[in-house]
C-alpha cells in the first residue's frame, strides 16, 4: 500500500486527460503533503493507466496524463 493510493484512485476515476492538480489539491486528496519522494512514487501510477507529466515547481502543479496503448 502506497501513501499516494488515494490520489492514484482519484486520478484513475477521471475521464479527461490531462488533469492538472496543485500541490495543495494533491495533499488534500492523498491526505499527505507532496514531497521530493513523490518522484519515487510516481511510477506506481502506471498500473492505473496514467502517468505523471509535467511537474511545475513555479506554479506548484502536477499534470497527469492517460497512457495510450
Q: Which of 39, 43, 8 is nearest to 26 (CA)?
A: 8
| 33 in Cβ contact with 41 (< 8 Å) | no
Based on its alpha-carbon atoms, the radius of gyration of the chain, rounded to whole angstroms, reads 11
Please check the confidence at residue 1 and state whether its pLDDT lies above 80.
Answer: no
51 to 11, 15, 16: CA distances (angstroms): 10, 14, 13
Return the percentage of the chain with pLDDT > 90, whole number.
78
Give the residue-averaged pLDDT of 25-51. 93
- Average pLDDT over the chain reads 92
Reported as a pLDDT band with limits 50, 70 and 90, residue 69 is low
Write down the pLDDT at residue 17.
87
Residue 40 in 3-state DSSP? helix
Amino acid at each position: 500500500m502506497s501513501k499516494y493510493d488515494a490520489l492514484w484512485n482519484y486520478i484513475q476515476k477521471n475521464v479527461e486527460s490531462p488533469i492538472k492538480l496543485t500541490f495543495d489539491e494533491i495533499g488534500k486528496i492523498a491526505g499527505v503533503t507532496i514531497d521530493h519522494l513523490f518522484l519515487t512514487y510516481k511510477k506506481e501510477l502506471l498500473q492505473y493507466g496514467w502517468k505523471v507529466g509535467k511537474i511545475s515547481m513555479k506554479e506548484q502543479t502536477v499534470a497527469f496524463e492517460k497512457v495510450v496503448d
